[in-house]
Each structure stands twice: as C-alpha cells, then as structure tokens.
Amino acid sequence: MKQTSRWDTRGLIADAMSMEGLSVEENRAIFFDWAFGLADPEHAAEASRDLLALHRTSDNADHAMIHLLEQAANGAALRKGRTGRRRRSDG
C-alpha cells in the first residue's frame, strides 16, 4: 500500500517513490505537477519536509525525488518573483 499524506492527496510523490527506473527528468515532471497542484504553494517547504519524513529511508537516499524534496524543503523549489532575463534587466 502506498503511503500518502495530506500534502500528496493525488499520490504523485508516493507513486514516484514506488516506481523503479524513472529518470531524473521524469521525477522532476512529477514533482512540479505535485508542486503546482498544491492548494497553498506558500507551504511547499513544509509539505516537502513532511513528505521527506514519510518517504526517506537509508535505502532510497539517492532517489531523484528525495533530492527534489530536499531542495524544496530548503526553499529552492518555488521562488517568487521574476526570473530569467526580465529579472536581470530590472537592475
């Protein structure tokens, strides 16, 4: 039975964790589908920390989804504001 949480109601992260052979790009696509589907995106870091607590084990520490969740838990996933060339040209 896959483990889900209030942050992963569609089971996207749980499914990714249980599937073998997913590429980094496939994990990234699943992660962003999950992140953009959050009802409260400002809670992405908290949600990522909770999902890490649920899914991270010593056996899957190198899983691409674990790395993405770790980055999000540290606030790297969903930055606010402009990005790219538009941001650089504002300075």
Give domain status of residue 2, yes or no: no
In a domain, 4, yes or no: no
In a domain, 85, yes or no: yes
User: Residue 80's domain spans which residues?
Assistant: 12-89
pLDDT digits (tens, 9 = 90+) for 15-48: 999 998 999 999 999 999 999 999 888 899 999 9
pLDDT at 76: 76
**Confidence (pTM):** 0.78
Residue 70 pLDDT exceeds 90: yes
According to the model, what pLDDT value does residue 1 have? 52
pLDDT at 2: 67
Domains: count for the chain: 1
Instruction: For the chain, give percent helix, strand, coil, nearest 5.
Output: 55, 0, 45
Q: Is residue 72 part of a domain?
A: yes
Identify whether 64 is part of a domain.
yes
